[in-house]
Chains A and B, each alone.
Chain A
Amino acid sequence: MPHRQSLSTLGQMLRRREIGSEELVHHFADRIDKQQDLNAFITVDTDYALQQARAADQLLAGGNPPPLAGLPIAHKDIFCTQGMLTTCGSKMLANFLSPYDATVVRRLKDAGAVTLGKTNMDEFAMGSSNETSHFGPVHNPWNRDRVPGGSSGGSAAAVAARLVSAATGTDTGGSIRQPASFCGLTGLKPTYGRVSRYGMVAYASSLDQGGPITQTAEDAALLLQTMAGFDARDSTSLDAPVPDYAASLKQKIEGLRIGLVSEFFDPSLDPDINAHVREALGELEKLGAKLIDVSLPNSAAGIPCYYVIAPAEASSNLSRFDGVRYGHRSESYTDLQALYENTRAEGFGAEVKRRILIGTYALSAGYYEAYYLKAQQIRRRIADDFSQALTKCDVLVGPTTPTTAFLLGEKTTDPVSMYLDDIFTITVNLAGLPALSLPVGFDPSGLPIGMQVIGNYLDEGTLLAIGHHFQEVTDWHLHAPGEVA
């Protein structure tokens, strides 16, 4: 069945002409249609997908097709796409048709990938459960009463349910890794600056990073190869060479030093999560890796620090939504002030408003030093902790999340309880390091558990090698939810 094949395997089948892209689009479009209850997609455009597929089939027949020719993917609805709406899960952009493609979209398109649609997400990427979307919550395919994680919940749900073979996501505080963990998938947040943010609607500019959500590390390497690289249109893009990630997968991990972060293995950690992560580490040891203990002493400060910096940056980034040039515009206003105030009151949901307000407060006169500057100093401490630890080991590991997928509605009454779910992922964004979440098992109720591997700057290759070798000796990544026949 095509939907049980990894992206890489499908690619081989397409190139050997064992299957056509048009056929794949019909197959996946049908699956998407039958699982609308997951609410993983905001926009699905089968006609447009078929058009792309036919073009891909021509390239495949031609004999020298681009690397992703004909492969069915989806984009998180935060990436600007010319042919389809870009809503960011918000009423503010519910009607927004971007006049340009994001660099990530353009590169994947040029590589021949076929986009089936735009996936649901927490509004403007603010959330950890995909419950803040204007278009309704996404359901976890492993258990529909539970959240898929967020903010890239739609992408994760779509890949987990095999409605597409892979999808793009973005990660500001954990929004690729946490949903990947909750949905039994592989999710990569690249080094800050590795993947262009041009056309990726900005939430927190010093933290945001786009990346792949896939079934395997091999697939993540395949997508990253195309997504990564310098982009003159992104002023924070790193002008650093992109390695051959497929070759990186074969890197030996014998002798690799893996640092177990003591703060991530606190005695209060859920015992099932602890057991599965330890078991996974045992597999890596069998492959020759060495486990050592390290500490990131300022870990707990990550959450308060992030919830100053991210909202502050968001308050600036979202000030562009004013009803003047694009997006929602209120119909009730008598003057310019009212136009702005009503447009923004109507267009934004509650969580987005909370973060803009907190961010504005933290940056306002009299509070800037106490909040924003303080947070930036703590950010330096956190980044230094990582640098210190990474002199003693090559990568750091821990669980991706403190819990498995929680129930829909369980954390929506208290905003802060949701924030605490990011405890293991958030410091990675503050430091700008790359990190990979891998599926390492299931809890007693069948919910996926994820392990996070954090690397040094621009060392995605080592992370992907660890993931690949791990997936060659285990089969967690091959599991799919019950109905995925």
Chain B
Amino acid sequence: MGARAPAAQTTGTIDVGVSSVRYDGFLPSGAASVSPALRWERPAGILTARGTYLRFESGHRSLQSLLAGSFLIRPAAHRWRGALGGSLGASRYLDFASFWHATADARLLMLGADRGVWIGGTAGRTSYGRAARPVTAVGIGAWMQRSQVMVGGSATRSFVGDTAYDDVVSTAHTRRGPLALDGSLGARFASRGGGRGVFGEASATLAVGERTVLFVAGGRYPTDPVSGSVAGRYVSGGVRLRLASPARLSARTTIPSASRPGTPADGDPVADLRLEVLPRPNGVVRLVLYVASTSAAGAELAGDFTDWQPLQLRRSANGMWETVLAIPSGVHRLNVRIDGGAWIVPAGLTRAADDFGDEVGIMTVP
């Protein structure tokens, strides 16, 4: 039997923010926005759907939507990969005609251990009202990762109807624990109808909980004749809320113990227990023990982070017991027990022999 592909992850988020924006040729304006998004992700592909409702201080409103994705193709030559992508979008402001676009991308990538290069093209259509225009673009790019920093660069030549322009852009991304920083700097030149000049943006996101991220962003971006957005300068801040992920909820009941080597036979109490380890950005870890037996009166946990003193878990819901502890990053050993019974290893942890004739659970905190 061959290996099956890893399961997909689906996450939903909603961004709520405020901005100060000045579109080229317009007066500055404040704006508030709400942006729900859904992201379906596998190691070889991503699909994103996003909508944005923008309300300006004048009371005018704008609606934008986007569906975009890309997937890898693996030919026989292992260092090369093909990637196919696409984008569908639409936007509307006041009573102006709507913009819509539909484009497809194809790229050829050569991957190294920590770097890569690509060459590709884009083709499609864009329309303002009823006047559809062809979209064509060709580009090359490269990226490199060093430790926690990824840098990249690209050069593209785009044609949108009678409009043509060259863009050269460099990007950088780094992450330090809960903080992620992104930046880009680019220039548009050799332009006919697409504007020209230097542009750049930066953003910072800070995870402050399992489902909450704060963000600030700002900069200047060029006109995008494909999506219809006008060049502008902006500063924004807000919060991103991650909604419950169906993949995470289903993980509570997956991993049938019988399929794991060395797991106990059916009917063993271990099969009725599962521990979920949820590291938080501020150095604490939330441990949630799911107990199938609703008649359990008490659940305890002991590990090297409690000096192996039994710690009573708090019942938070029917069948759920939990605690939040400051646990340093590293490898930790722990066991749980129900109603003062034997110390056992719940599902969700790696098992190892404990040197005392039984088993201990191994937990890794990044």
Q: Are A and B genuine complex partners?
A: no
